[in-house]
Amino acid sequence: MEDDFIVAKVIENSLISLGYAIAGLVATGEEAIVKAKSERPDLVLMDIRLQGKMDGIKASETIHATLNIPVIFLTAFSDQKTFDRALATAPYGYIIKPFSANTLSTTIRVALEKKHADQKKDERNFWLDSTISSLPEGIITINGEGDVLLVNQAAERMTGWQNKEAYKQPLEQVLTFVDPITNEPFHYNVTPILGEGIIGTIPVNSCVLSKDLTHHKLDDTLAIPIRDSTGEISGVAIVLYPRTTSPTWQRAQEPDRSDAQAREVSITFETGRKRIFEPATVPTDATGWYDHGNYLLFQRQYEEAISAYSNAIAMNPLNFPSWYGKGTALAKLNRIDEALDTYEHALQIHPRNSRILNAKGVLLKRIGKEAEADRCFELARLYSV
């Protein structure tokens, strides 16, 4: 879109010689919008200074916002104020006149490649968002400050909070649980997850307390640290498995949960750089097998998780998180003696780990060894200070 007809024709000939088809030439911003709507070109070359009341920057805002068509600016103006206005519209290129055919060709190729990459990213995000929204499990994600970024549809039904209204609200404002023993409300403590990547599940038979004070019973919960590309923890994903629906993933037979005094076993989740919702690649080292075990545990494929943790232990017998993960998977299958033995191996490596002690205490209490369980809980409190 160029206000000087002669310059526009020169550019048109250059583009044709480069193998591009021309959708049209117009001189005003208003005409540019109409032409873009009717022709839907792959790319718009826009002069900033145009005839009429609307300049190229304003026309570009409308075209990009309503049609998602990338725009490259052509201009003789290189002052900072003009550049800042143009930059605010997220252009795919900015060429200062006069320019060479090579500059024009290179800028267009880069812009079209970026558009293609953006389209692939948008498509992937669409399917990811659609998949997460369709899950029967509730999913809530938070950032490193503990503010909510995402509430899927299942979590919306449980909490009473819509995704838009929950965005950037503190987690404790959006997600409240009710203790099955005291009937008192409580919140997830995400500090250990954000700080260490080590998490604990909530008490068995807990409920989510919605905004209208409705209780939604849970079958299980899981909180997973989210890591950025450098491996640093940048947030947490909380998965809520509702009691009234069948889980999406394979279930193994779970232990009797009739004892309200019991507490769910804590688990360690170090996801590395893997995305927890995507299939893991075949591991090649102890860390990879550990991450794969965590992924399988998330899917409730407990037998497979035990095998993955065992592979990690075979490669690195001193990796106590792998012993801990294996013990958690065994406990999920109600293989209590094996789980206790596995936790004991973990404690031989890390004897003052309060979470392993708590997990061991839970299992001891489940089989009636109250004195031993209380001793584990006492040591766990001592070492957690």
CATH number of the domain encompassing residue 13: 3.40.50.2300
pTM, whole model, 2 decimals? 0.59
**What CATH number does the domain containing 160 carry?**
3.30.450.20
Does residue 337 fall inside a structural domain?
yes
Summarised one tens digit per residue, pLDDT across range 301-339 is 899 999 999 999 999 999 888 898 899 889 889 999 999
Among candidate residues 94, 126, 158, the one where a domain is terminated: 126
Q: What is the mean pLDDT of residues 251-270?
A: 38
317/378 same-domain check: yes
114/196 same-domain check: no
Does residue 19 fall inside a structural domain?
yes
Distance of CA 313 to the CA centre of its chain: 29
344/373 same-domain check: yes
331/369 same-domain check: yes
The CB-side HSE value for 196 (13 A sphere, CA atoms) comes to 11
The pLDDT, as a whole number, for residue 277 is: 44
The C-alpha atoms of residue 208 and residue 238 are separated, in whole angstroms, by 12
222/336 same-domain check: no
Does residue 253 fall inside a structural domain?
no
203/278 same-domain check: no
Among candidate residues 126, 151, 175, the one where a domain is terminated: 126
Q: What is the mean pLDDT of residues 139-165?
A: 95
Q: What is the mean pLDDT of residues 151-169?
A: 95
**What CATH number does the domain containing 278 carry?**
1.25.40.10
* Residue 164, domain extent: 138-248
Residues constituting the chain: 385
Work out the pLDDT band at 198, boundaries 50, 70, 90.
Answer: low
Does residue 99 fall inside a structural domain?
yes
314/380 same-domain check: yes
The pLDDT, as a whole number, for residue 216 is: 93
61: its two tokens: 């805002």
Q: Rg for the chain (alpha carbons), in Å?
A: 29
Query: For the CA atoms of 9, 12, 13, 15, what is the dihedral angle to 10 degrees?
Result: 160
Does residue 196 fall inside a structural domain?
yes
Instruction: Report CA-CA distances (Å) from 215 to 189, 200, 211, 285.
Output: 20, 21, 10, 44
Work out the pLDDT band at 385, boundaries 50, 70, 90.
Answer: low
The pLDDT, as a whole number, for residue 199 is: 57
Does residue 258 fall inside a structural domain?
no
Among candidate residues 248, 278, 297, the one where a domain is terminated: 248
195/292 same-domain check: no
Q: What is the mean pLDDT of residues 140-151?
A: 94
Summarised one tens digit per residue, pLDDT across range 273-292 is 334 444 446 788 888 888 78
Does residue 133 fall inside a structural domain?
no
3 state SS of 78: coil
154/118 same-domain check: no
Structural domain count of the chain: 3
295/346 same-domain check: yes
279/382 same-domain check: yes
The C-alpha atoms of residue 146 and residue 127 are separated, in whole angstroms, by 26
39 has a pLDDT exceeding 80: yes
CB 73 within 8 A of CB 60: yes
Mean pLDDT, the chain, integer:
83
The C-alpha atoms of residue 143 and residue 11 are separated, in whole angstroms, by 47
71/145 same-domain check: no
Does residue 370 fall inside a structural domain?
yes
The pLDDT, as a whole number, for residue 250 is: 41
Q: What is the mean pLDDT of residues 66-90?
A: 85
